[in-house]
Amino acid sequence: MLDELKSAARRMGGDYALRSLMTDCRRLLSERGEANSVAIARTLVARFDSLPAEQQSSFFDKLASEFSPDPQAVLDSALAYAEKPTADNLIRLTERAEPPRQELLRRINRTPGGTEAVVRMRRALLDRLPKQPGLKALEADLLHLLSSWFNPGFLEMRKVDWNSPAQLLEKLIRHEAVHQIDGWDDLRRRLLPDRRCFAFFHPQLPDEPLIFVEVALVPDMPAAVAPLIDKTSPSADPDTYKVATFYSISNCQPGLKGVSLGNFLIKRVADELKREVPQLRTFCTLSPIPGFAGWLAKDGDWAALPGVKKPVAERALEARIQLKEACGGDWSKLASAPALQALPAEAQRALQRLCAFYLVHQTPQPGGDPVARFHLDNGARLERLNPMGNLSKPGLKQSFGMMVNYLYDLSRVEAHHEAFTQGEIAAARAVTSLL
């Protein structure tokens, strides 16, 4: 009985807080609210942060329904513009089609700490979106605004080294999403002279890295990640630096998912490294293939993929049958280093053929590998597959140990990007010959 009373009291308190929050939203959008926007926005943000999860969901529902454009006003303006496409009619249509919640979010953004608050709101919204598809328009508004506010022209790139503030170094350890950093000794090794780390920062979040990239300066294009992250390895001689390898890119702000940051960071890092280390001639990645194992385990009509020739699809299907027989029909057996090493040579070739098919033909389609899409859309070339490149538990589970090098030929990235937007994959002969 007492628990029920407490639960009822919490609901009543949450409902009151939600009503107060919505009142703050309307005040902030009013003319008087614009004059007192800082104080109102601070209160609004504090109320949102203190809302229980259920009321936060209700808040997003109300933003989506009560702060949308007036359909009749939009229709009238659209008809007026269609009848007479003048500049004034276009401006009026644009103004009426914009959801009022966008101006609400702009006014929140103007207050100290407002930018960070809007990023937090979007993070909370993204968690709810799968179960609340009616929030898609609100999510589109947030993505549109954050993409403008976090335009790379506003961002500052900083080199991170062992002398950087301890608080920043702790955040690198916490946010590393590709190859876990095993404490301070591991981080120190990743910041020795033959390694580099660069991060993007925003003026409104000066102490919060948005995204960071780790780079290894090595003699040759690497085929395995273990030597790059071996915390006991000595720092290499600077005279041996020939290749800059991007081996990890980590986003630190979930609320900025979908906002383009990494592609600009890679290009700026490459330019910076060319100035700092003139003898560098090759810029590449050593990348995971996180979608490969899941894709391979599913049956699919590969021959129906755009641009796939019948003989290529047939060879890929034959390779899948061969590999499935080699693992006894249990794909999970391939998530083991000893099992991979014990595969017959024909099955190992089949695994490489299937990986090449996945990257070349599935990447432009729904279900394509997200890392591949990122680098290829960024103008890189699919350069080389690396069997047994990542024998860590995540690497085995996600891609059966396979890794891939993407080559950034800085003179060709724009052409490769344009080709990718047309569904064409830039791939080296070493990859296409596997098909």
Q: Provide DSSP, 365-413.
A: STT--HHHHHHHHTT-EEEEEETTS--SHHHHHHHTT-EEEEE--TTTH
pLDDT score at 2: 47
What tens digit of pLDDT does each residue of 51-87 get? Answer: 998 899 999 999 999 999 999 999 999 999 999 999 9
Are residues 142 and 162 part of one domain? no
Start-to-end CA span in the chain (Å) = 67
- The pairing of strands 243-251 and 282-285 is parallel
Pick 154 or 386 by higher pLDDT.
386
Sheet of 403-407: strand order equals 156-159, 195-201, 211-218, 243-251, 282-285, 403-407, 381-386
Contact 350, 268 (CB under 8 A): no
- Residue 98 is classified by DSSP as S
What is the count of structural domains for the chain? 3
Mean pLDDT, range 321-344, rounded to an integer: 93
Examine the residue annotation and report whether 233 is marked as an active-site residue of this protein. no
Q: Residue 190 is part of a domain; what is its CATH number?
A: 3.40.630.180
Tell me which of 105, 124, 149 is where a domain ends.
Answer: 149
Cα dist. 133→127, 324, 376 in Å? 11, 38, 29
Q: For residue 301, what pLDDT band results from cuts at 50, 70 and 90?
A: confident
Distance (Å, whole) CA 368 – CA 352: 17
Cα 231 from Cα 237, distance rounded (Å)? 17
Catalytic residue selected from 57, 77, 287, 399: 287
Question: Which of 179, 375, 399, 416 is an active site residue?
Answer: 375
pLDDT value of residue 9:
45
* CA 398/CA 364 separation, integer angstroms: 19
Q: How far apart are CA 59 and CA 120, in angstroms?
A: 14
Same domain, 382 and 244: no
Residue 6 confidence class, pLDDT cut points 50, 70, 90: very low
DSSP label of 255:
G
Both 127 and 177 in a single domain?
A: no
Q: Coil, strand, or helix at residue 131?
A: coil
pLDDT digits (tens, 9 = 90+) for 224-266: 999 999 999 999 999 999 999 999 999 999 999 988 887 778 8
Same domain, 129 and 35: yes
Q: Does residue 300 sit in the same domain as residue 211?
A: no
The mean pLDDT value for 343-365 works out to 95
Mention every residue, 6+ apart, whose C-beta is less than 8 A from residue 12: none
Q: Say yes or no: 70 and 205 in one domain.
A: no
Q: How far apart are CA 374 and CA 250, in angstroms?
A: 13
Residue 19 predicted with pLDDT over 70: yes
Whether residue 177 sits in one domain with residue 131: no
Same domain, 307 and 281: no
| pLDDT confidence tier of residue 34, bands split at 50, 70 and 90 | low
- Half-sphere exposure at residue 73, Cβ-oriented, CA atoms within 13 angstroms: 12
Beta bridge partners of 285: 246
Cα–Cα dist 429/384, whole Å: 9
Tell me, yes or no, whether 123 and 160 share the same domain.
no
Mean pLDDT of the residues in the chain: 91
pTM score, two decimals? 0.87
**Stretch 204-209: mean pLDDT, rounded?**
91
Please say whether the beta carbons of 336 and 318 come within 8 A: no
Amino acid 79 reads L
Domain of residue 56, CATH code: 1.20.140.90
% pLDDT > 90, the chain: 80
* Same domain, residue pair 137 and 35: yes
Catalytic, 287? Answer: yes
Residue 323: CATH number of its domain: 3.40.630.150
Do 6 and 138 belong to one domain? yes
Q: What is the DSSP letter of 181?
A: -
Which tokens is 383 given?
A: 């350069």
Domain range spanning residue 417? 292-432
Is 382 in the same domain as 268?
no
User: Among the three residues 149, 164, 186, which one is the final residue of a domain in this structure?
Assistant: 149
- Last residue within a domain, chosen from 114, 149, 184: 149
